[in-house]
């Protein structure tokens, strides 16, 4: 039996990277998927790909930092598919002007926190009641290995926002543990995604990151999707409040030779 058969999953940031791969994988495992993205065209492309592969999906345009949009995307899942069982709060940004505390502007700080931290809060705010109404399920919040380690390339707003995601995840997991709602954080390592490759825009920056990864390579979005599937499914039924590190060993390494 498929691991998400009969489940409804909502994935934010579904237009690219981890979100797109997860939406496709969740659908292939039987889920009906709400593909949420700020970029309407990319979200629709993911949903179309799901349908062409024989799955069920709808695209929804939403700004996850907006309470109205967040409430509406959850309502769409319930209205169209009849419930919500998996909430993957994955949408996030990594701005090229995000640097150290002196160089990062207040506007970049606010934008990053609004999407990466507030967006997860709003997803949980509206997603948790819907999951309870559906009889329970799983919330996955995308954090990052940089919430555990200082980043070699300064990105203070991004790092702080992902630390907030971890703290939020832990508290919500405890609060809702006896309500059939599991809440876990997926902590990817450095990935070969458009988001990170745009940020690490020179070979020097890429190597500064890779030298610390024991496995010696960037991770792939599909590898994160497989980890998200585990957290979404009943295979992880006794796991809540976890910080699921999928990072090529970077957080375990003290120093790694080139």
- Percent of the chain surpassing pLDDT 70: 98
Q: How many domains does the chain have?
A: 1
Identify the CATH number of the domain in which residue 70 sits. 3.40.50.720
Catalytic residue, from 126, 158, 238, 254: name it.
158
pLDDT(192) > 90: no
Evaluate whether residue 250 is within a structural domain. Answer: no
Query: Can you tell me the distance from the alpha carbon of 5 to that of 68, in angstroms, rounded to the nearest whole number?
Result: 29
Query: How confident is the model over 195-206, as pLDDT tens digits?
Result: 777 777 787 777
In this prediction, residue 255 has a pLDDT band, given cuts at 50, 70 and 90, of low
126 is catalytic: no
pLDDT tens for each residue of 72-84: 999 999 999 999 9
**% helix, strand, coil for the chain, step of 5:** 50, 15, 35
Phi, psi of 61 (to 5 degrees): -85, 130
As a dihedral over the C-alpha atoms of residue 7, residue 8, residue 12, residue 13, rounded to 10 degrees, the angle is 70
In a domain, 57, yes or no: yes
pTM here is 0.94
Q: Does residue 45 sit within a domain?
A: yes
pLDDT tier for residue 152 given thresholds of 50, 70 and 90: confident
Expressed as residue numbers, the domain containing 231 is 8-191+220-244
Q: 181 lies in a domain?
A: yes
């Amino acid at each position: 039996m498929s691991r998400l058969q009969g489940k409804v999953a909502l994935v934010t940031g579904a237009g690219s990277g981890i979100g797109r791969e997860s939406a496709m994988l969740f659908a292939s495992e039987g889920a009906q998927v709400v593909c949420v993205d700020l970029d309407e065209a990319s979200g629709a492309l993911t949903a179309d790909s799901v349908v062409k592969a024989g799955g069920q999906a709808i695209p929804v345009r939403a700004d996850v930092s907006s309470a109205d949009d967040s409430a509406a995307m959850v309502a769409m899942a319930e209205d169209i598919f009849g419930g919500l069982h998996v909430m993957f709060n994955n949408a996030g940004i990594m701005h090229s002007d995000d640097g150290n505390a002196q160089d990062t502007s207040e506007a970049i700080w606010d934008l990053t926190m609004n999407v990466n931290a507030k967006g997860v809060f709003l997803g949980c705010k509206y997603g948790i009641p819907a999951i309870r109404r559906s009889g329970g399920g799983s919330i996955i919040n995308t954090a990052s290995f940089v919430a555990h380690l200082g980043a070699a390339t300064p990105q203070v707003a991004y790092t702080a926002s992902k630390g907030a995601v971890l703290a939020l995840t832990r508290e919500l997991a405890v609060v809702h543990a006896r309500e059939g709602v599991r809440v876990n954080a997926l902590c990817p390592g450095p990935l070969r995604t458009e988001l990170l490759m745009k940020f690490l825009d020179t070979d020097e920056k890429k190597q500064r990151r890779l030298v610390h990864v024991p496995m010696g390579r960037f991770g792939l979005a599909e590898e994160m999707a497989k980890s998200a599937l585990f957290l979404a499914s009943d295979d992880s039924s006794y796991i809540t409040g976890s910080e699921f590190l999928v990072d090529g060993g970077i957080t375990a390494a003290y120093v790694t030779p080139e």
